[in-house]
Structure 1
Amino acid sequence: MNHWTQLSIEYANQRSYLDDLFHVYPTIPEGIRDLDGELWKKVEKAFKKKDNATLLETLLKMDLFPIKDSYVAYLKRDKASLKRNPATVDRLCGRLYEMGLDKIFSRSSEPKETNCQIGPLFKRWVNNKSLGIAPVKLAEFLKAKGNAILDASDAEMMAFAKEHLNYTHNKGLDFIGRFNGKYVIGEAKFLTDFGGHQNAQFNDAISTLKAKGVKATTIAILDGVLYIKGKNKMHKDITGKLKKENIVSALVLREFLYQL
């Protein structure tokens, strides 16, 4: 078993793991979404007039459509389809009238889901010198003689890894550092539950970890339910076929980096 994976599992099962992890991923729900005032006036007007086409067309311009329906994404991407599919428009509007304006407003202004906000939080934590040093921009990173962490956008990280580290994988990176003269790259994920989308996130991080021919130490900075002991697939993988890989919690990442 990889020492750092073992430490991560022990941390999650013996210590105040979630309390500490909150410093990395402070997933506080955002306030309600701000709705465009002009758009909302059009919604109210169309609702009162029972103008189905205008009501739906206007609501589709908002960030969040107030009802979950399998056909909404198609209508959003092909506005012309509203005119071609009057029965679908009428069906959706029937549900909207049944909801009433107050509920439409409430649903349209719901906060973003926590999962949608998690992405930038790891980088924000790193940028707060949580790993002991402040990340630096590319020019300084290239010049630095000692330990350094790259502060860059996803695209810049990919470009750097391709040019300097022979990274040819198509997945983005959340971390590029150099410690004790060794480059380290990896993806960071907070896996909040089992199944579906979370399994895909896990697989993404592992595929980056196992990328071939990379001139760097590859790691998967993973946190969440995968460290819960049991028969879940993620835990079985990290203690089985992946047990020799560098799978580490963000909470033991600092120690991992400085011992390289």
Structure 2
Amino acid sequence: MNKWTKLSIEYANQKSYLDDLFHVYPTIPDGIREINNKIWGNAQKAFKSKNNKELLSELLKLDLFPIKESYIAYLKRDNTAIERNPKTVNRLCGRLYEMGLDKIYERCSEPKETNRQIGPMFKDWLRNKSLGIDPVDIDTFTSNNKDAVLDASDKAMMDFAKKELNYNRDKGLDLVARFNKKHIIGEAKFLTDMGGHQHTQFDDAIATIEERNVKAIQIAILDGVLYIPGGSKMYKYVSNEYMKHNIMSALVLREFLYQL
């Protein structure tokens, strides 16, 4: 097994892993979502006048629709479907009237799911000088061969890696760095559960480190449930099929980089 994967598994199972990981991913839910007052005012009027089409049209403009329902995504993307599907409109509005305005407002203003907030946290952690150096902009990064961490958007990192490092995936990166004159690229994921979308995230990170002919050390900075020993697919992958890949926790990343 890769030394750094082994260290990550040991860290997760023997030390204060979650307490320490909170410094990287401080998953504190936001407060309630802000709701556009004009949209909400229009929705209130439509609700009180029982104008189904208007009520649905206004609520679909909000970030979060108050009902979890398979047809909502379609209606959000094609508002003209409201005119063509009166039974669906009436069915949804029946549920809305049953909920009442207070409950509708409560649902529409619920905090974002924690998973949707995780993305920027890794880069925020890097900006806190957690790797011992301040991340730098692209001009500074390319001006010399000193140890450096690139501070840029996922896309800008991807563009740099494509141009300079023969990286060919159309997928943004979370880390582009240079230590001991060696370039390192990688994706960072906090895998909060097994299966579903989380497994897709895992596969995405693996695809980056399996990209061929890249002129950089490829790593997957993964944290979460994959390090729990047992029968899960992710644990089996990191301890068997992908055991030679550079898969590691963010909590051992600094040591990995400085030993290159």
TM-score, normalising length from structure 1?
Answer: 0.99
Query: Which residue number corresponds to residue 167 of structure 2?
Result: 167
Aligned-residue offset at 1:170: 2.0
Structure 2: distance between partners of 1:223 and 1:132:
20
- Please tell me whether the aligned partners of residues 96 and 104 of structure 2 are also in contact (alpha carbons under 8 angstroms): yes
Pairs within 5 Å for 1:1-260: 1-260=1-260
> Matched residues in 2 for 1:7 and 1:207: separation?
22
Superposed CA offset, 1:126-171 (max 9, x none): 0110000001001100113320011111111111000100000122
Q: How much does 1:172 deviate?
A: 1.4
Q: Secondary structure at the match of 1:198?
A: helix
Distance 1:196 1:171 in 2: 20
Aligned sequence identity (%): 66
Cα distance in 1 for residues equivalent to 2:29 and 2:37: 23
Q: Take 1:130 and 1:178, find their aligned partners in 2: how far apart are those partners? A: 15
Q: SS at the partner of 1:230?
A: coil
In 1, Cα distance between equivalents of 2:225 and 2:248: 13
Q: TM-score, normalised by structure 2?
A: 0.99
For the Cα contact (< 8 Å) 2:147–2:177, is it kept in 1? Answer: yes
Cα distance in 2, alignment partners of residues 12 and 144 from structure 1: 36
Describe the SS at the equivalent of 1:23.
Answer: coil
Deviation at 1:43, TM superposition (A): 1.1
Structure 2 unmatched runs, 5+: none
Match of 1:66, SS? Answer: coil
RMSD: 0.6
Measure how far apart 1:107 and its partner are: 0.1
* Counterpart-to-counterpart distance in 2, 1:239 and 1:87: 52
Structure 1 position 88, deviation (Å): 0.5
Whichever residue aligns with residue 44 of structure 1, its letter is Q
Structure 1 runs, 4 residues or longer, greater than 6 Å off? none
Local SS of the residue matching 1:240: helix
Q: Distance in 2 between matches of 1:249 and 1:93?
A: 47
Give the C-alpha shift of residue 39 in structure 1.
1.0
